[in-house]
Amino acid sequence: MVSADSVVIAEALGRAARRGRPLHQTVLQIFAFDPHFELKSFLPTPRLPLPEQAVRAALVWFVRSRENSLDRRIERAVAAASADQGHGKVVK
């Protein structure tokens, strides 16, 4: 018998998962999701019952891999381009 919590988690993973996206990133997206922000209201809603081990593993993954994330690579490229422009270099 599959627990109701497992069904809810599987549904959330199915909705949030994207091809090419690490599963850890999907778990963090679900963990950090705030329905109040989406709905622009403050209704009490329960959090998904994500297993603590999954959330911990996702957080460890984030800390270890964030330097290689697309966002960080873009930030570094912008910073480098800004620094180059400040020193009179032309950036193509």
Rounded to the nearest 10 degrees, what angle do helices 23-32 and 52-65 cross at? 110
* pLDDT tens readout for residues 25-47: 888 888 887 666 665 555 455 67
**Cβ atoms of residues 36 and 42 within 8 Å:** yes
Domain boundaries, the chain: 4-65
Model confidence pTM above 0.95: no
Q: Is the Cα torsion angle 57, 62, 65, 71 positive or negative in sign?
A: positive
- Return the percentage of the chain with pLDDT > 70, whole number: 77
